Amino acid sequence: MQYKLEYDEADPISIEEYGKKLVGKTFAEVCVEDDITKAMVVREINNYEAKHENKKRKGGLGELIEERYFHYEANNDAKPDFEKAGVELKVTPYKINKNGTISAKERLILTMIDYYSVVNETFVESHMWQKARLILLIYYLYQKEIENRLDYKIGYVKLFSPPEQDIKIIEQDFYVISEKIRAGKAHELSESDTLYLGAAPKASSSRDRRKQPFSSELAKPRAFAFKNSYMTYVLNNYIIPGKITYEPIIKGKAEVSFENYVVEKINTYCGYTVKKLCEEFQIDIQKKTKNLEAMLAYRILGIKGNHAEEFEKANIAVKTIRIEKNNKIRENMSFPTFKFKELVQEEWDDSIFGNYLRETRFLFVVYKYDRESELRLKGCQFWNIPYKDLEGDVKSVWEATKQVMLDGLKIEVRNGKNYNNFPKASDNPVCHVRPHARNAKDTYDLPDGRKFPKQCFWLNNSYILSQLEKRFLEK
């Protein structure tokens, strides 16, 4: 006997209204309330809950909602889950951070990238867009202290369709990815290539590889995914009611791509001194304003604060760079501190620092001192670390850092100063490890129990200089 559905499978609103009844329930309660014998789509009646509780079973919670609540058979079809309504169902976690803010726990996987077919697809007709154009998002609260994931509670259920201004950027991202594959560089794909839509690694092991059409080099399996940063923005601004949004950079329709719009906007003030920019945007230059040069870039882009909607969605980090009169850069570029005990437990392919560089796109805002030692705006460029640098020099520094801690950090005092054997700037052309602590008492525990001042990875100033567009070095 066919089970009668409690919603209209051809009506997105009916599907959403039925889905909203999940709010406040745990996955275990969904199983208890459903009579498994009625769910004719379920193939695994024996030990169903135990099998779906298994954290190693990717998509297990999504399958459970599909089969035990909506009563359709989970599949890997390229078509939307609710085909008649054109709605895709996605079950995804969020978390409450220590400071009380709410963020997505992970990126949202949409569909696997078929390297051979995607290069012949248009955005509108692509398998990815069929999955992404209308999604029923079911957010559940991830809590580390809860051991059985069936006890996670569902917090939000809502239909989501990317707004028009996002679709334009998502489309650009799609073509950036497909063009890189067409260029025979599927093995060099990185989430930092794009803004909202990423090419996320999706393999059962780090050794998995697939053939690609325009190169003999094997590539990691990847999936189209909305980035973690984009999903955090979606959660806080489209899903949770009453949240305040950040200011957008583009407030109407733009005739050019987002990145070109930003570059052109900042270029209109090229040659202005910092003093002149402060006058232009009514900033008191006498006050010691932290990150003044970055603040000026936000003001040029029409942003009153230090957060722009598009930057938050795309995980774009704004970094200001000062070029000296002699065309050198004095400062190295720092990143968040790492915890010694955590790093030694990591593997490179899923390391915090490696993932940060894989997933972050940077906006370099460049200033240069003129002959009179006045700091002038030279312009900006978007940048992400090249694949060969990340998987070559950066990886080797990361591995050397881990090995130093596994062997036991060597500390030597000479002339009253502490010296250690972490990788130095002279050891590697791209990056090194240096202190990033407020003072000597600002420490983390080493794996052997000793306390040591906080450290972070730094990109070498000479490397940053080599990555800048040549126009910034012109007089």
Q: What is the pLDDT of residues 70-92, one digit of tens each?
A: 988 777 777 888 999 999 999 99
How high is the pLDDT of residue 379? Answer: 96
Q: Of the ranges 4-8, 37-41, 283-287, which is most confident?
A: 4-8
How high is the pLDDT of residue 111? Answer: 95
Instruction: Tell me the mean pLDDT in the region 172-185.
Output: 97
Label residue 203 by pLDDT band (50, 70, 90).
confident
Q: What is the pLDDT of residues 304-363, one digit of tens each?
A: 988 999 999 999 999 999 999 999 999 999 999 999 999 999 999 999 999 999 999 999
Domain range annotation of the chain:
10-237, 256-470
Which of 159-173, 204-218, 242-256, 438-452 has the lowest average pLDDT?
A: 242-256
How high is the pLDDT of residue 51? Answer: 52
Supply angle C-alpha 306, 310, 312, rounded to 5.
60
Rounded-to-integer distance, Cα 173 and Cα 179, Å: 10
How high is the pLDDT of residue 289? Answer: 72
Q: What percentage of the chain has pLDDT greater than the value 90?
A: 75
Instruction: Tell me the mean pLDDT in the region 447-462.
Output: 94
Averaged pLDDT score across all residues of the chain: 90
In sign, the C-alpha dihedral spanning 451, 456, 460, 465 is negative
Q: What percentage of the chain has pLDDT greater than the value 70?
A: 92
How high is the pLDDT of residue 241? Answer: 72
- Model pTM? 0.85
Q: What are residue 453's DSSP bridge partners?
A: 443
Label residue 439 by pLDDT band (50, 70, 90).
confident
Separation of CA 338 from chain center: 18
How high is the pLDDT of residue 41? Answer: 52
pLDDT at residue 268 tops 50: yes
pLDDT at residue 468 tops 50: yes
Rounded-to-integer distance, Cα 59 and Cα 43, Å: 16
Rounded-to-integer distance, Cα 474 and Cα 350, Å: 40
Which of 188-192, 303-307, 382-386 has the lowest average pLDDT?
A: 303-307
Q: What is the pLDDT of residues 411-423, one digit of tens each?
A: 888 887 778 999 9
Highest CATH level, class, for 256-470: alpha beta
Rounded-to-integer distance, Cα 430 and Cα 390, Å: 9
How high is the pLDDT of residue 44? Answer: 53
Label residue 1 by pLDDT band (50, 70, 90).
very low
Decide whether 10-237 matches 256-470 in CATH topology: yes
How high is the pLDDT of residue 473? Answer: 86
pLDDT at residue 297 tops 80: yes
Query: CB neighbours (10 Å) of residue 83?
Result: 14
Kindly report the three-state secondary structure assignment for every residue of the chain.
CCCCCCCCCCCHHHHHHHHHHHCCCEHHHHHHHCCCCCCCCCCCCCCHHHHHHCCCCCCHHHHHHHHHHCCCCCCCCCCCCECCCCEEEEEEEEEECCCCCEEECCCEEEEECCCCCHHHCCCCCCHHHHHHCCEEEEEEECCCCCCCHHHCEEEEEEEECCCHHHHHHHHHHHHHHHHHHHCCCHHHCCHHHCCCEEEEECCCCCCCCEEECCEEEEECCEEEEECHHHHHHHHHHHHCCCCCCCECCCCCCCCCCHHHHHHHHHHCCCCCEHHHHHHHCCCCCCCCCCCHHHHHHHHHCCCCCCCEHHHHHHCEEEEEEEECCCCCECCCEECCCECHHHHCCCCHHHCHHHHHHHHCEEEEEEEEECCCCCEEEEEEEEECCCHHHHHHHHHHHHHHHHHHHHHCCCEEEECCEEEECCCCHHHCCCEEEEECCCCCCCEEECCCCCEEECEEEEECHHHHHHHCCHHHHCC
Highest CATH level, class, for 10-237: alpha beta
Label residue 459 by pLDDT band (50, 70, 90).
very high
How high is the pLDDT of residue 58? Answer: 54
pLDDT at residue 444 tops 90: yes
How high is the pLDDT of residue 93? Answer: 96
Q: What is the pLDDT of residues 133-155, one digit of tens each?
A: 999 999 999 999 999 989 999 99
